[in-house]
Amino acid sequence: MSFTIATVNVNGLRAAARKGMGDWLADTAADVLTLQEVRAPDELVGGLIGEGWETVSEASLLKGRAGVAVAVRAEREDADVAASRRGLPGVEGDTHTGRWLETDLADPLGDGRTLTVISCYMHSGNTEKPQTMIDKYAFLDAMMERLAVLREAGGHVVLTGDINIAHTEWDIKNWKGNLKSAGFLPEERAYLDRLTTEAGFVDVHRALHGDGPGPYTWWSQRGKAFDNDAGWRIDYQLATAELAARATAAQVDRAPSYDTRWSDHAPLVITYA
């Protein structure tokens, strides 16, 4: 048996649906989808994803911004949604809503243990707007505390989503030109250092791909970034060690051409045994 998780920032679920996300959904082998930047009311999300999925979502209190969702194939009875929790403990304020959703799946790996799947849409931050960086660091601090609690509970945990940080020079094409840019600041990257060392989480995509540039998951809409593959790897599946050890394959479902994209991100799809 295998279990496949796909994560993607849809850059507006309604827009993605209009641009062809449904064709990708029809072809994907994913058992679980985690979506970010949904930017749609909760009551619309399930219908936009379509039939055959059990969907949980958290819209932002700021209209037209953020929003996260988790969708599970209804036919996967071993992955029934046992519980869900909206919002990240430890941060307050409307700007932090629609960014963190935990969903417990009953026993998808067949070992009697719950799998907690998190859909996270991290603040992007902007060095010219200090409050956005304050918000980002507050969210990162709370995230680290929450992940420690979940890991100690003893189940499998996977943090998925748009973390808005390129961890190393391999994760951004133009790293020299972005040393002072939000998303590649040393202070931000240090959180991923800690998460993948002392906190006990594994960057599954990097572990499977190995050393080397990319594969990137986001490309600017400006210029020829997509055509030149001048991207950033900012979408992740970060898993507890036992879960990461079960990972067998990872792929980025990059669109074949600029005009066939339905988001400025591409889905990251990982299969676990």
- Interhelix angle 186-195/130-152, rounded to 10 degrees, is 0
* Domain 3-272: top CATH class: alpha beta
CA distance 45 to 71: 10
Q: What is the pLDDT of residue 77?
A: 82
Residue 271 phi/psi, 5° resolution?
-105, 135
How far, rounded to the nearest angstrom, does the alpha carbon of residue 27 sit from its chain's CA centroid?
Answer: 20
The answer to whether the CB of 155 falls within 8 A of the CB of 108 is no
The answer to whether the CB of 49 falls within 8 A of the CB of 119 is no
CA distance 40 to 138: 25
Q: What is the pLDDT of residue 80?
A: 82
For the stretch 164-181, pLDDT in tens is: 999 999 999 999 999 999
Q: What is the pLDDT of residue 220?
A: 94
CA distance 92 to 183: 22
CA distance 157 to 205: 15
pTM: 0.97
For the stretch 202-223, pLDDT in tens is: 999 999 999 999 999 999 998 8
